[in-house]
Amino acid sequence: MAKKHKKSAAAKSAGGDKPQKLSRKAYEDELEKLQGELVKLQFWVRKTGAKVILVFEGRDAAGKGGVIKRITERVSPRVFKVVALPAPTEREKTQLYMQRYLNHFPAAGEIILFDRSWYNRLGVERVMGFCTDHEYERAVKMTPAFERVILENDIILIKYWFDVSMDEQQRRFQGRIDDERKKWKLSPMDTESYSRWYDYSRARDAMFEATDTDFSPWHVVPSDSKKNARLNCISHLLGQIPYKELPRPRVKLGKRSLKNKYDDKASLEGRRIIPQKY
């Protein structure tokens, strides 16, 4: 059994006081600063050849996707790469369980964000009966060893669990039902997880007991407030990686060449311009 990691302050406060409500301006101002730091992190990762894996887990509608979107929206997709795997194929089911995740591990200068990960076996697969007891117990035993190998191969591994309350999850699910823009987010698995709240809670507790280690700890993100969760997670993430702001040459546009100038707007006449409705 893996050595248990001492609970973080975030974990202790997961069910504590309600976070202070942020105004839109305060949230956007702070997010802009943090995203600027993510750009600095990107340059550092590329320069140093660092390899980073970020694991995002939690209940359905806990806010994982929203945080991932804010992390990646101002950086290069060639550095920050999101991996959200579908259900395994029949062939993948016969492979080593970790194999399909290994295919997406980072090369030098890459940050991989797993939107769910090898922890599926300790969570949804366990609760829904998609794996046998033997497969589950083997995953419980092997996961800490697997993560130690990751770290010993000079990969930075950071794991986040997004903790949402029962009432807030219900509100978000209802929002997905009512909003045409969000209906794609609601799957049969979501409604099943909604009805099995405490089964998922027990699976989470067992997962923490086995895999919240000193060398690869879990970091709990209270996520009833989406804005607070996004800022807190990104701020914490930046504090986990020893990046530095690297000097960059100042970019100058220079002058356009007007050699061979012609009316390049007129040459578009007669082409299929889309209707200008707005």
**Which pLDDT belongs to residue 17?**
61
Rounded-to-integer distance, Cα 201 and Cα 213, Å: 19
Specify the 3-state DSSP secondary structure of 218.
strand
Chain Cα centroid distance, residue 251: 32
Query: Could you give the angle at which helices 226-240 and 64-72 cross, rounded to 10 degrees?
Result: 60
Q: Which helix (H) or strand (E) holds 127?
A: helix 124-128
| The token pair that represents 28 in the structure block | 């956007």
Q: Compute the distance between CA of residue 5 and CA of residue 211 in angstroms, rounded to an integer.
A: 9
| Residue 13: per-residue pLDDT | 42
Domains annotated on the chain, with CATH: 9-244 (3.40.50.300)
- DSSP letter at 245? P
Average pLDDT, consecutive stretches of 10 residues, N- to C-terminus, the chain (278 residues):
42 55 95 98 98 97 96 98 96 95 98 98 96 97 98 98 96 91 84 91 98 98 97 98 95 93 95 94
By residue count, the chain amounts to 278
pLDDT of residue 12: 42
pLDDT of residue 226: 96
How far apart are alpha carbons 208 and 197 in whole angstroms? 17
Q: Which amino acid is at 242?
A: P
- Rounded to a whole number of angstroms, the CA Rg of the chain reads 22
What whole-number distance in Å separates Cα of residue 136 and Cα of residue 207?
Answer: 11
Buried b (16+ CB within 10 A) or exposed e, 1-31: ebeebeeeebbeebeeeebeebeeeebeebb
Give CA separation, 228 vs 24, 155, 221, 225, in Å: 11, 28, 9, 5
Neighbours of 265 (CB within 10 A): 7
With tokens 């009432």, the residue in question is 167
Phi-psi region of 202 (alpha: psi -120 to 50; beta: other; left: phi over 0): alpha
